[in-house]
A and B are shown apart, each in its own frame.
Chain A
Amino acid sequence: MPSGNQRGTAAQKNGLGGGRPGEGAGITNLLFVIPALTLYAIFVLLPLASSLYYALTDWDGIGSPRWVGLANFSRAFSDDIHLASYVHVTLYIIGTLIFEVSFGLIMAVLLNSDRPGFALLRGLFFSPVVLSMSAAGVLWTFVFDYRTGLINGMLKGMGLSDWAQPWLSQPATALLCVMLVSGWKFAGFYMILFFAALRRIPRSLYEAATLEGAGPIRQFFSITLPLLKQNVLICGLLAVTGGFAGFDLFFTMTNGQPYNSTEVPVTWIVKMGFDSDQLGYGIALTVILTVVVSLVSLLYLRFAERSHAVEY
């Protein structure tokens, strides 16, 4: 148990600055938090609580809910598509971590220069981030189209028509394609975050290393990467929680097909909740999703906390 003296440090670990006595009466200070709290309580906490209630009912969204206890949950654990959706989303998260975060990191380092032209390249690399998901989904659905799409068109033009596939209609390739589009779209976002962080690394460190004869690759691994650790970890967390919530791209490109091979938790929830009018079951699935995301994030944060980010 932290003692009074250590409370400051513990609070700092939580990201709080540590208040000092005499900085104002406790209660009036609460006023600062009221706006955020009200907004949060009504639109985040309240639906969360009612989710817990509805998850225990059988409800078609229109009539009155009928209490069924934990029946929805036991059904969820024998629902093969539901279980598979977690496998798919995990693959997707790993894929996105690889594509988006590493690609973004590499490009941030590659395009890290004050020379003219580099700013333009960075700007262009980021631009897909700004597209809406639906735009990206529609665009790439056409690119992957079997008969008239760009990719198969290019393959046929290069004499490789055997390689032309129904990309979004085969379980083997569909998920990969969605991952690719996600990577295309978001790598720029991570690049900018890393780039901003790179900027904060004092030049002197690099110059000193160059004087000692270290080449650029060596500098990357011994200077850049460790100092970016905190950013890497935060980016990773965003990718993980964002990945579990993945919906937009999946909905516009494949909507879970073919054969539910690109089904992710949220597309299945929407299908159960809205398409088949089984809101009680759909909400139970959202409760499970929340628990899973929370557990994964907490584990991740615990792991991140142990490897402290370096202060500089």
Chain B
Amino acid sequence: MVLRTGLLSGLIGAVAFASAALPSAALGEPVEIRITHSITGGSQKEVLDGIIADFEKANPEITVKQVVFDDDQYSDTGLITQLKSSTPPDIYFQWAGFPMQRDAKEGFAKDITAEMNEGGWKDTFLPSVWSPSMGTLYDGKAYLVPMTLDVTNVIWFNKKIFAEDGVKAPATWDEFMAVIKTLAEKGQTPIVVGNQELWPLGNWASHIASRVVEPAHYAAAFELKEPFNQPGFEKALTLIDDLRKAGAFNKDIAGLGADPAMSTFFQEAAAMHPIGSWLVPSANEMAEKDFDYGAFNTPLIDPANPTKDSVIGTATGFAVHAKSAHPKEAIAFLKFFTQLDNQVKWAEAGSFSPVKGAMEQAKLDDKTKQMADMLSSAGSLVPPPDTTYPVAVAESYYQAAAYVAGGEKSPKDALVWLDEHVKAMK
């Protein structure tokens, strides 16, 4: 690089790099592989710890060290710092789609097509996992070992409050609006969203938009080939505006954090909470034992839309770092992790295992089972925009949705603002 400070830093850098690049010790000598991710707690962490312990027992010369961050830190600085450091992790958690593509292009992720094809590893996964919309392959090559499917957004609801106020889970948007009106009249907070970071509402708003906008136009807008200011998106934002006018949202939607919002839902201070499938492990850890809740997908809006009953979700997985000093050991661990018996445990911890047969064999609680059924019976799977398209564009859309939900801008004005704002990103 042009501006290196010269001999001193060059020396430091060389020494650091050399020690990182040292080939793994001869067979039998202890090897440490580092895996970084953002699973901070709950039942998933327990199972992961258990699988790691089992692996270490079966392979005494390998130790697995976990480097963990919370979600936002991981995405912001945690992952990047490690990827670019001179001692990168051997395995790291990554989202399929745009992020994995970038890693492949920039040479962070190792091409594991060969390992995948070896011994039919690839076929142990559900075929739908490798479909194009999932974004798990780039240029036909594999860079990611799928580890869980996330449903990015469903609407969780408090069964007790629904029963008390005489409402049922809606199947259409009109029914949904009726439910909200009833709840609001009875003095409930119909929906709690913690939108300080913009993605909680943003994910849902994207799902709503995908149900209303034709798929081709949806993609074109996010790829900045078409303006956002078009009838489909305007309809989508108007629906959100309708929600606001009906008093659906909590007053502190703009400043509340995502986790505090979830906690509010667990404390039964609101009737519904739109968030992803990771609520289940959190509920197991944080909610009262008798907390009775369920979920329904975003209701039907436009029967003519090809993705009218889509589920919004994404695949995540583990990638092996291209510069890892111990790729063999890393692959060995990942193969162990994706073995059926371990995946059954993984499924029982509240994840959606992408491995064939795991979800069927696992003893799932009814919530997870419901999510799994939703995924397998969905007519289509739509990924959230911040994993498929450049993050800056997705976040701008999330910002526009936030403006509308808070009454700061009208749907039309928000779209005008949005187009202005993304002009610079082309």
Contacts and interface: CB of A to CB of B under 8 A. Distances in A.
B255 A254 contact: yes
A274 B255 CA distance: 21
Nearest to B251: A166
B391 A169 contact: no
B55 interface: no
Interface stretch (B76-84, B225-233, B355-363): B76-84
Contacts of A171: 408
Contacts of B406: 258-259
B161 to A, nearest CB: 16
Contacts of A80: 420-421
Interface in A54-104: 60-63, 75, 78-80
Interface in B194-213: 195-197
A103 to B, nearest CB: 26
A53 B424 contact: no
Given A61-B80, A62-B84, A275-B76, A258 B5 contact: no
B391 A50 contact: no
A219 interface: no
Given A49-B3, A169-B251, A169-B256, A278 B80 contact: no
Contact of B255 (A53, A61, A258, A278): A258
A63 B105 CA distance: 9
A79 B253 CA distance: 25
A61 B5 CA distance: 19
A287 to B, nearest CB: 15
B76 A257 contact: no
Interface string B383-402: 00000001110010001001
Interface residues of B, number: 38
Contacts of B420: 80
B287 interface: no
A50 B106 contact: no
Contact of A169 (B77, B197, B255): B255
Contacts of B253: 169
A168 interface: yes
A146 B252 contact: yes
A1 interface: no
B252 A166 contact: yes
A276 interface: yes
A39 interface: no
Query: What is the interface residue range for chain A against chain B?
Result: 35 or more
Interface string A157-170: 00000000111111
Contact of B252 (A46, A75, A168, A260): A168
B102 interface: yes
Interface in B226-270: 250-256, 260, 264, 269
Interface in A129-154: 145-147
A50 B253 CA distance: 40
A171 B406 CA distance: 10
Contact of A277 (B196, B264, B391): B391
Chain A interface, >50% SS class: loop
A276 B392 contact: yes
Contact of B106 (A62, A166, A254): A62
A259 B252 contact: no
A146 B251 contact: yes
Contact of A255 (B3, B197, B251): B197
Residue among A79, A258, A260 with most chain B CB within 10 A: A258
A259 B80 contact: no
B83 to A, nearest CB: 7
A278 B392 contact: yes
Contacts of B2: 53
Nearest to B103: A62
Given A61-B80, A78-B424, A257 B264 contact: no
Interface in A164-192: 165-171, 174
B403 interface: yes
A30 interface: no
Interface in B92-127: 102, 105-106, 108
Contacts of A145: 252, 260
Interface in B371-426: 390-392, 395, 399, 402-403, 406, 408, 420-421, 424
A276 B391 contact: yes
A174 B252 CA distance: 11
Contact of B408 (A165, A259, A278): A259
Contacts of B251: 146, 165-166, 169
A275 B256 contact: no
A257 B255 contact: yes
Nearest to B198: A257
A42 interface: yes
A274 B2 CA distance: 22
A258 B102 CA distance: 31
Interface in A247-295: 254-255, 257-260, 274-278
B269 to A, nearest CB: 6
B197 A259 contact: no
Given A50-B3, A258-B255, A275 B391 contact: yes
A174 B250 CA distance: 16
Contacts of A60: 102
A79 B196 CA distance: 21
Contacts of A276: 390-392, 395
Contact of B83 (A49, A62, A146): A62
Interface string B56-98: 0000000000000000000111001001100000000000000
Nearest to B72: A275
A134 to B, nearest CB: 13
A226 to B, nearest CB: 44
B196 A254 contact: yes
A75 B423 CA distance: 9
Interface of A: 42, 46, 49-50, 53, 60-63, 75, 78-80, 145-147, 165-171, 174, 254-255, 257-260, 274-278
8 contacts: A53-B2, A62-B80, A62-B108, A80-B421, A168-B255, A255-B196, A255-B197, A277-B392
Interface of B: 2-3, 5, 75-77, 80, 83-84, 102, 105-106, 108, 195-197, 250-256, 260, 264, 269, 390-392, 395, 399, 402-403, 406, 408, 420-421, 424
Given A50-B3, A78-B424, 12 more contacts: A62-B84, A146-B252, A146-B256, A166-B251, A166-B254, A169-B251, A170-B255, A254-B196, A255-B196, A257-B196, A259-B254, A277-B391
Q: Sorted from nearest, which 6 A-B pairs have the closest CB atoms?
A: A258-B254, A166-B252, A169-B255, A168-B255, A169-B252, A146-B252
